Amino acid sequence: MKLKNVVDILRSKILGKNKLETLENIIAGLLLTFSVLLSLSIGLSALYPKGLVTIVSMISSFFIFIFTISLVIIWLIKEV
């Protein structure tokens, strides 16, 4: 499968009917990405309890919180 085909498939999945749906899809993807990053950093913090892994864990959890709040706000805007 060519890279262009993969990019086209991803673009068609991300783009929604309007700007709010597109933003919702992007935020959901970022939420999933940072959730995976948080899981990995929590697992690695068991091995390395100090340093960069701990910082990545804290930053990931902060972004997950922000993206969750923004997703709820988008859902509220869509309902009104």
**Could you tell me the CA-to-CA distances from 58 to 17, 19, 24, 36 in Å, in that order?**
34, 30, 24, 13
* Contact (CB, 8 A) for 34 and 64: yes
Rounded CA separation 80/76 (Å) = 6
Question: Is the pLDDT score of 68 beyond 80?
Answer: yes
Confidence grade of residue 14 (pLDDT, cut at 50, 70, 90): confident
16-64 tens-digit pLDDT:
778 888 899 899 999 999 999 999 999 998 888 888 999 999 999 999 9
Residue 74 near residue 20, CB atoms below 8 Å: yes
Confidence of residue 1 (pLDDT cuts 50, 70, 90): low
Measured in degrees and rounded to the nearest 5, phi and psi for residue 49 equal -75, -5
